[in-house]
Structure 1
Amino acid sequence: MHASTKESTSPKQFFLQIITKICLLSIATLPLTHTVMAQEITITTTLSTIDNILINPDIGITEHHSFNIKNDPWWNKPTHPETSVVYFRWYWEELEPQKGQYNFKLVDDTINQAAALGKTTVIRFMTMAGVDEVYYSNSPNAGKKILGIPCWLKQKIDPNTIGETCADDNSYTVDYKNPVFKKNLKRFLTAMGERYNNNPNILRLDVGLVGTWGEWNLASHKGYERPTLGNHGYTDADLLPFPKMMKEAFPNKTLLMYLGSNDENILSHSTQRNYGWRADCIGDWELGWNHMEHGYPATFEHAQGLGNNHNSYPDPKFLQRWKKAPVDFEICYTVDEWAAKKDIYTVEKVKQTFDTALDMHTSLLNLKSGNIPEIYQPLLDDFLKKVGYRFELNTVEVTSNFKAGSPFLISSSWKNTGVAPSYNNYPVVWRLRDRNNNVIDYFETNNDIRHWLPADNKEDISPQYTQKNSFTLPENITDDHYFLDVALVKPNTQQAAIELGVEGVRQDKWHHVKSIYLMNKS
């Protein structure tokens, strides 16, 4: 017979050939072995989600004039949630006691103390307090009535202030039309902006320049029966300069416009220009007129141009602006005070409060740094698992021949199962660790997670975002097992910033994804 002639194969030999081919095929699809692979293959990993409360940057519950109220050794509220953001607001007179002399130390110390705890700061500058309100005991002005504006300015614009001192009386109602007031306020904001506009530890600022407590109304000074600015003679032309001067002073910072009322149009004018918005008194279910059933619905309608009052600057997309700029809330009263009125603040009503915040796609909720009564704790825990963003890495596909210097392709699928995007970018970075936990390489993606939106409605399924990245394995690989990790990092670093809603988190907040076997070129 010639060499090319086919020989007959016995059934036993045929069976052995089939088994051998099956074994070889199985080995070829297992990248975790020491087998040399000439062709690229793909490994797919599916990660398991977790139901934990995650403490992540820029979202959740914010401290209110405290830094770590849950664990403060002198004044603690042990049931208050862990936080990543602190909230402070100051009156103008505290920050510019003499014209041109600024108390930067007060702001600096606050920001730095928060940063030392890994927290960012939200700030509000205010110009007027409620009548007869005094500074608290921890202030250098303790016991003194709050003027709001500096005394030196009050002497210029209040005809009843005579002499070089201001009486201990804060009944004066600021005239927000006064050109001298506006000129000096703009100068003050310019000084603040020059110092803090590029400070990375300031998360955002409220536009709280107008009205009692910076809430864009004249409550206390004009009573509480419709104390709105529009009802007391203020026009759009009078009020529009205030958000504008904040933007000019802080062009690089996120600004939040106050919700206001349906008697003004400044909110919708601002949201069309990429300001976020915030509202106080969420959770107000008091008998008669209240914010939840009356104030909020009327203002939301007005902002969209749907209310009974004319709006010169309607924003039909007002309820969709959360996709680009944040929404923050602050509760009315304290949660302890809610619990003292259980006939009004039932479990069902408090759940409705938290659901409203989620439906509005909020990122931060201010609970006034108070305790959380046990009756409401499960509601808050559920809220904390949804507020702001919550990123889940679902599947990871790695394609390579797993040799040193070869292409290394990663396709990853992500979801945001929270209710808001991240308004700051924390890029995805991958890394390889060896068996001794030494990092042998980082793979940067330069992606932008700000585009990872959640579902429009909290009950809906979140959209999936697939990211495909191509890298090259390092040359210094030896035949061994390595670990593939992933993190959402602080920009321009390899420092993991965000804990994902999946298993595998390590002590440094990086998430372990897969163990893979890599080989050198030989």
Structure 2
Amino acid sequence: MKKDDKKKLWGKKLLLILMLIILFFSLCVLIYSYHNKQTLEYNLISGPILNPLMGFAPWATVKESKQPHTLVYADLTWRDFEPLEGFYDFESFEKKQQLERWRTEGKRVVFRFIADKPGDNVHMDIPDWLYKKINGSGDHYDNKYGKGFSPDYSNLLFISYHEKAVKALGDRYAQDDLFAYIELGSLGHWGEWHLKFDSGIRQMPPEDIRDLYVMHYVGSFPNTHLLMRRPFSIAEQLNLGLYNDMTADFDATKKWLDWIENGGECSQTHEMNALSPMPNGWLKAPIGGEQAGSMSFEEIYDTYLDQTIQLLEDSHATFIGPGSPYKLESGGPLQDGIDQVLATIGYRLYIKQVQIPLWVHFGKNIKIRLNFGNNGVAPMYYNWPCVIYLCDENGNVLINYQLEMDLRKVIPGELYNFIFVMPVDKLENGKYSIGIALIDPMTGQPAVKFAMENTRQDLIQELGSFEISRFHN
């Protein structure tokens, strides 16, 4: 054999040996990775969970609620808010509605601004000075809803003062997230965007005028979820939420759901297609409302309980209030039905599966693979910080990392996958555990209970543990 041929042969042998070595080490890495991976699954819990931004929302004025809640409902008439032109009486409103108490307790507010609230006595819910400015443009009424004054919502001067009032509210309350949801509000009886015009009251204004009022709120509360009583076209265009103040009433709720599914005519103004289909609107914005005053607690939470739950599921409801069972004693005969309703509405976040290594012998990082789920009827509509905690073997927190994920994408019926690469190069040999929590921006503390079993009491959900045992220190 020639010398050159021998060199070529040895070259091929060396290449083959090198390839075999690479293959061997690759197989070793694969085998190591396979045997070093633990897949953890968890037991879910049933029943009601007291979590932020969902559930019952009793009146903010109550001294005590017999049922647990994390939301309160506060409304404010224009007359009370601006008794003198340009003077906004925040102090009286906040004192009456106990806003400092609710902030301290970590609760959020469902808010509605009202210009017409039917009552037993002759009265107006707009300020006297504004009534004079618009030359009394509007209608005094006395009908089956009660007595009051319905202003002319098309009056341009009225609209301009409304914009100023809502801006003042935004300047005060849009700076933090105490106001979680704002129900529009402003137009119609109780701010519900309807009028009893068959009693001699002029009709609701047309769409172009109504939209001006919506934009006042959009401009003043850009980061707060706004909800409308009906799926008006602007609600669909701007991804606004909706509320149903006839919750649990079968006929009224079915009609409301039909509007959401198919859109249609606005009966208040006879405008065709003023209501837009929003069947998937709940994926982006919340659904709320209060229980129907036409039904008794016994009917809602006992006699027609299955119907109530089905309507709430179909609505994808997140909260119920102010009409809610807050006066019913805990543990009473209707408690089981109340608990079932509370367990139905809102989000129920859980972690289906986590993959982490069993041990770490080398390397600077580990991968944590998480599969998030939601077996509620709605997403969590605010993207609160999601934090991974690294703890020692006794559960003491050593360090935490905020995940760059969007909780709003964890929707019912789908899994949301996320991979976090956690540095471990500075950790000493030993056992470590991993936890996760959702942080309330108002308190900076873990605030959401996952729908999973958990041995910790601080709302940090335990996920699993691993061991660092490096070949060299």
Structure 1 letter corresponding to 2:398:
I
Q: 1:480 to 1:217 in 2, by over 3 A?
A: same
* Preserved contact between residue 184 and residue 227 of structure 2 (Cα < 8 Å): yes
Which residue of structure 2 aligns with residue 483 of structure 1?
Answer: 433
Which residue of structure 2 aligns with residue 459 of structure 1?
Answer: none
Question: 1:493 Cα deviation (Å)?
Answer: 8.6
Which residue of structure 2 aligns with residue 96 of structure 1?
Answer: 82
Which residue of structure 1 aligns with residue 272 of structure 2?
Answer: 311
Structure 1 letter corresponding to 2:377:
V
Question: 1:355 Cα deviation (Å)?
Answer: 1.7
**What is the distance in 2 between the residues matched to 1:369 and 1:325?**
25
Which residue of structure 1 aligns with residue 418 of structure 2?
Answer: 467
Q: 1:510 to 1:275 in 2, by over 3 A?
A: same
> Secondary structure of 1:53's match?
coil
1:506 aligns with 2:434: no
RMSD (CA atoms): 3.3
Structure 2 letter corresponding to 1:291:
A
* Preserved contact between residue 289 and residue 319 of structure 2 (Cα < 8 Å): yes
**What is the distance in 1 between the residues matched to 2:246 and 2:205?**
23
* Preserved contact between residue 400 and residue 409 of structure 1 (Cα < 8 Å): no
Structure 1 letter corresponding to 2:437:
A
> Secondary structure of 2:354's match?
strand
Residue pairs, 1:60-459, within 5 angstroms: 60-66=55-61, 69-70=64-65, 78=66, 80=67, 82-109=68-95, 110-133=98-121, 146-159=123-136, 171-219=148-196, 223=199, 232=203, 234-259=205-230, 267-284=232-249, 291-292=252-253, 295-296=255-256, 299-300=259-260, 303=263, 311-316=272-277, 318-333=278-293, 337-339=296-298, 347-366=302-321, 367-368=323-324, 370-372=326-328, 374-399=332-357, 401-403=359-361, 406-454=364-412
Q: 1:299 to 1:46 in 2, by over 3 A?
A: closer
**What is the distance in 1 between the residues matched to 2:427 and 2:257?**
63
Q: Which moved more, 1:123-132 or 1:82-91?
A: 123-132
State percent identity of aligned pairs: 24
* Preserved contact between residue 69 and residue 369 of structure 1 (Cα < 8 Å): no
Q: 1:213 to 1:361 in 2, by over 3 A?
A: same
* Preserved contact between residue 203 and residue 253 of structure 1 (Cα < 8 Å): yes
* Preserved contact between residue 365 and residue 424 of structure 2 (Cα < 8 Å): yes
> Secondary structure of 2:390's match?
strand
Question: 1:298 Cα deviation (Å)?
Answer: 5.7
* Preserved contact between residue 499 and residue 505 of structure 1 (Cα < 8 Å): no
Which residue of structure 1 aligns with residue 12 of structure 2?
Answer: none
Q: Which runs of 5+ in 1 are unaligned?
A: 1-27, 29-36, 71-77, 134-144, 162-168, 260-265, 455-461
TM-score, reference length from structure 1: 0.74
- Give deviations 1:37-70, integer Å, cap 9, x for gaps: 9998212211111114211111111122346633
* Preserved contact between residue 44 and residue 395 of structure 1 (Cα < 8 Å): yes
Question: 1:131 Cα deviation (Å)?
Answer: 4.5
Question: 1:407 Cα deviation (Å)?
Answer: 1.5
Which residue of structure 1 aligns with residue 42 of structure 2?
Answer: 47
Structure 1 letter corresponding to 2:186:
L
Structure 1 letter corresponding to 2:346:
G
**What is the distance in 1 between the residues matched to 2:228 and 2:137?**
32
Flag the structure with higher helix content: 2
TM-score, reference length from structure 2: 0.81
Q: 1:370 to 1:438 in 2, by over 3 A?
A: closer
**What is the distance in 1 between the residues matched to 2:448 and 2:117?**
38
Structure 1 letter corresponding to 2:405:
N
* Preserved contact between residue 405 and residue 472 of structure 1 (Cα < 8 Å): no
Question: 1:281 Cα deviation (Å)?
Answer: 1.7
**What is the distance in 2 between the residues matched to 1:408 and 1:492?**
31
- Give deviations 1:198-254, integer Å, cap 9, x for gaps: 2221102111101111111224x854xxx997xx36322332211122212222221
Structure 2 letter corresponding to 1:157:
I
Q: 1:304 to 1:474 in 2, by over 3 A?
A: farther
Q: 1:159 to 1:369 in 2, by over 3 A?
A: same
- Give deviations 1:384-405, integer Å, cap 9, x for gaps: 2221110111211103752586
> Secondary structure of 1:380's match?
helix
